[in-house]
Structure 1
């Protein structure tokens, strides 16, 4: 029994020593993740910041302790707020902002943790948006004409302004965006009326431009029609003149070949043109036109 007790006792001591060593290691060794800052504080005062991941060593608590801060980009989102535009119109905004810690020591000293940071960011984002919206009229926020909209400019300036204000807390504002832009009930009708008037003005403009273009097309068509008709008339007159000339030439040739027959044909044509069933002629018997009717051809 004595030998067994003597064998067990070193094992117990070894186990106790290993436990104490492990406990001591947990007090002096700590691990840093790639997504975080590790701030080593001595009696509550920051003495160094560890940014790279891995195992590190410190003095045991309570002499030195470790506080961890997330180094990733984080999203801050708030409930609706009401702000005024330059023309004193009230708008309701739901927005969000993205931010990250750039100075862990300043962050720890000023806001301590994420809850404290978001309480400061509420003021930073709200005041930044208020300042920028106060520079523009309502129709520069909501408009059917894309060229008049200034939302991108407002958000860019808001981000710059918020970044300047948040720097003192060890925070970098990355971006600010509007999720919902709405209007209090008292303003909605005036906004709808203005948008309707703008649409009607645009429609009237399109109708006017269409009427002007239609009139221009009609004028061009009428002008082209007159040109075509004039060319056709000139061509017809030319053809007619050529036909008359050809007819005269044929008549001339016929007259030269048989003058008596030609005279006979021409007289018959004259009868046809001047005499019908209702025609009464009173002519002397010696009239040339009657020679074929009287049977005397001398």
Structure 2
């Protein structure tokens, strides 16, 4: 085989390899859970977030970096293996509160990649930077909090302050990460005896809150009943008031009618009123009305109001025989 022919074969093979490489490296796929960014001679293009089959220039002109869209979790202060074993790092979690007490604080930070270009090019290790920013944020918040708040009812406020401070730091670092949530896992004391004492304090605090809630519930119930009774009394009083007013108006109307009749015939009206009054006062009495010579009327209830004497019942033959027998 001549040298010229050998060179031709090598050239053909080289061209074939280049063509195969171009074919296999010009196509790539993006999954629904992924986002991609195409890098052309070291310069990144806009992120690709839509899934499907994509085309690019062959390597080494362009290459593709794929990043996940999922939510990641940063375990700060401990590490949990897939088998469920937990390893604590007290050196990271030991912090000083605002009232000079020591606590151990574990937390979980949930985050995701929202800017692939910044994530790839603005930091060599974005996750390490996130870990350091988390440590700085939680230490700053714990350092401004009292130990009672960190161990009992102030955890929600500590979480809110931590995520606010951490988000501001990550935004300044511009590493393409967005912090979603910060959740405290454990806030405890390093000493077992002190931890037991504070557990008792926590239980007492919860008992106090329960009693306060029960007292407020009882107060609201009593207030509701008192308001209901007050409304009922006011309603009854208003009803009684209305009834008295209507009765007074009726009496006034009746008096006006009687007065009008009295103006027309004074004597007859006067006698009629007297008779109606006697009938109302003595409904069961027999009354006789007589006129004397002077024209004055007399009203005499002649029916005796005393109870009448009852006649004894007749004696029977049996009683008479008993009396005769006793006489003998």
Name the TM tier (shorter chain).
Answer: 0.5 to 0.7
Instruction: Please state whether the residue corresponding to 1:98 is helix, strand or coil.
Output: strand
Relative CO higher for 1 or 2, CA cutoff 8 Å, sep ≥ 6? Answer: 1
Residue 40 of structure 2 contacts residue 62 of structure 2 at CA under 8 Å; is this kept in 1?
Answer: yes
The alpha-carbon deviation at position 206 of structure 1 amounts to 2.5
2:106 alignment partner in structure 1:
92
Deviations 1:229-248 (A, max 9, x none): 67778959x89x99997343
Instruction: Please state whether the residue corresponding to 2:176 is helix, strand or coil.
Output: strand
Instruction: Please state whether the residue corresponding to 2:136 is helix, strand or coil.
Output: helix
Does 2:301 correspond to 1:266? yes
2:127 alignment partner in structure 1:
118
Q: How does 1:215-234 map to 2 (within 5 A)?
A: 215-225=226-236
- Counterpart CA distance in 2 for 1:244 and 1:232 is 27
Deviations 1:102-144 (A, max 9, x none): 336734xx51xxxx43233221233233334544556599659
Instruction: Please state whether the residue corresponding to 1:93 is helix, strand or coil.
Output: strand
5+ unaligned residues in a row in structure 1: which ranges? 42-46, 60-64, 279-298
Instruction: Please state whether the residue corresponding to 2:132 is helix, strand or coil.
Output: helix
Residue 56 of structure 2 contacts residue 62 of structure 2 at CA under 8 Å; is this kept in 1?
Answer: no
Residue 28 of structure 1 contacts residue 58 of structure 1 at CA under 8 Å; is this kept in 2?
Answer: yes
The alpha-carbon deviation at position 177 of structure 1 amounts to 1.0
5+ unaligned residues in a row in structure 2: which ranges? 49-53, 78-92, 190-194, 256-272, 311-328
**Pairs aligned (count):** 239
**Residues 1:188 and 1:15: Cα distance change in structure 2 (over 3 Å):** farther
Instruction: Give the alignment's Cα RMSD to 1 decimal.
Output: 5.1
1:49 alignment partner in structure 2:
44
Instruction: Please state whether the residue corresponding to 2:75 is helix, strand or coil.
Output: coil
Deviations 1:168-220 (A, max 9, x none): xxx12212313454332725443343233223223212322322332233234
Q: How does 1:56-71 map to 2 (within 5 A)?
A: 56=57, 68-71=64-67
**Residues 1:153 and 1:77: Cα distance change in structure 2 (over 3 Å):** same
Residue 137 of structure 2 contacts residue 162 of structure 2 at CA under 8 Å; is this kept in 1?
Answer: no
Residue 151 of structure 2 contacts residue 188 of structure 2 at CA under 8 Å; is this kept in 1?
Answer: no
Does 2:142 correspond to 1:129? no
- Counterpart CA distance in 2 for 1:179 and 1:118 is 18
- Please identify, of 47-56 and 197-206, the stretch whose mean Cα deviation from structure 2 is larger: 47-56
2:171 alignment partner in structure 1:
163
TM-score between the two structures when normalised by the length of structure 2: 0.51
- Counterpart CA distance in 2 for 1:244 and 1:22 is 140
